[in-house]
Amino acid sequence: MQGLLLLVFAKHQHLPFIQIISTKSIPTGLYGYWGNKGGVNICLKLYGYYVSIINCHLPPHMANNDQRLEHFDQILEMQNVGRHDIPNILDHDLILWFGDMNFRIEDFGLHFVRESIKNRCYADLWQKDQLNIAKRQDPLLREFQEGPLHFPPTYKFDKNSDNYDTSEKKRKPAWTDRILWRLKRQPHAGSYTPELPVPDFSLSLRSYISHMMYTISDHKPVSGTFDLEVNFWAAWHLAEEQLCWATSPNTPALDSNLKPVVFIPMITLMHEGLWTTENDILISYSSTPDFLSSSWDWIGLYKVGLRHINDYVSYVWVGDNQVSSSDGLNQVYISVNNIPETEDQFLLCYYSNSLQSVVGISNPFKIQPRAILQDDPLGEAQPRI
């Protein structure tokens, strides 16, 4: 894609519970061949729930609203992952959709729009916003939520200024840059008994703002901050109760909508003893019963603050460097020759080749530098760190 970039960052403690399912780009410009318009997508599994993140760039200009809606549908249709548990993009528990959607403000003239912005009277403009109009008419689009537009339209500005377009075209300001989300509809109330809690997977908007101080583009950037809550206890309690129902006569079967919330990593990593740069590092790890290891799995040594799985300082193949394996406990080693002498904090990450994801991570730790011997005035050798 041309000019579309999608990056996902996570705190390291969440890595074992994030599995990248797929990445995809969908060009929609020039009959589907040109990547100046379209979308890019990352589908991931987060604590057992499926999340799809989409960044898009839709066709511009006031008259192309129908084309924008067609591209919106086209991006949705081409996002199918092809897995039996999520055959369709709409089967994801959460869809986050954002980008330059290029929707404009209809009917009102340039002077009225600019005066409304100047006086911070946005309510009339909201009613004529093409995206809001489409949401009132389209049942599927209506399922996507958006925060209130309490900030000025973010397009179009003269570059390196805070002035709306003063060129000959004098384009009418509009909220072209948007952030939407869709939570999968909850099962009908009849799927659960009133005594049991529903698994809690909820998203709440904390802020939805524009950043007017940036002037390098003819758009002003927009950001949204969300709280995503996964209630592990409610989900575990519901799974336990439904399992009891399924094993009792004349009771409903397990609800197919129930998701197994993952809160125990597939791999638990432990480092043995005090680590120094004088000896090989011995690593012990255990796995959950359902984890399928591969000879291509590896354990990487990382500095805290890693930005990519390839940012390792050193790594070992779990098969090649195995020391022992018994009763579900495995041991591998990292050669002392591959251990740096530094005061940084480190992490160990177990990477599963079959899942293409980190499935285990250690607590942060330090590696003690090599002890250098020196003679003291009394002639006795003393360790010096």
Digit-by-digit pLDDT tens for the chain (385 residues) are: 677 889 999 998 999 999 988 888 888 877 655 667 899 999 999 998 999 999 999 999 999 999 999 999 989 888 776 676 787 888 899 999 999 999 999 999 999 999 999 999 999 999 999 999 999 999 999 999 999 999 999 999 999 999 999 999 999 999 999 999 999 865 443 444 444 444 468 899 999 999 999 999 999 999 999 999 887 654 444 444 444 434 444 444 444 455 557 788 999 998 666 777 788 888 999 999 889 999 899 999 999 999 899 999 999 999 888 887 777 789 998 888 888 888 889 999 999 999 989 999 999 988 887 654 344 455 444 333 3
Strand 345-352 to 365-366 pairing: antiparallel
DSSP 8-state symbol, 329? E
Within the chain, which residue ranges are assigned CATH 3.60.10.10?
12-187+198-233
Side-chain half-sphere of 368: how many Cα atoms within 13 Å?
Answer: 13
> Residue 354 and residue 53: Cα distance in Å, rounded?
22
> Residue 229 and residue 47: Cα distance in Å, rounded?
11
Q: Residue 207: what pLDDT?
A: 97
> Residue 287 and residue 269: Cα distance in Å, rounded?
9
Please say whether the structural domain 267-366 has been given the CATH code 2.60.40.2840.
yes
Q: Is 133 left (phi over 0), alpha (psi -120 to 50) or beta?
A: alpha
> Residue 17 and residue 220: Cα distance in Å, rounded?
34
Q: Residue 375: what pLDDT?
A: 47
Query: Which class in CATH covers the domain with range 12-187+198-233?
Result: alpha beta
Question: Between the CA of residue 325 and those of 266, 271, 274, 302, 369, what are the distances in Å?
Answer: 17, 15, 22, 24, 29
Partners of 317 in the β-ladder: 298
Q: Residue 371: what pLDDT?
A: 58
Within the chain, which residue ranges are assigned CATH 2.60.40.2840?
267-366
Quick one: CA dihedral 270, 345, 348, 334, positive or negative? negative
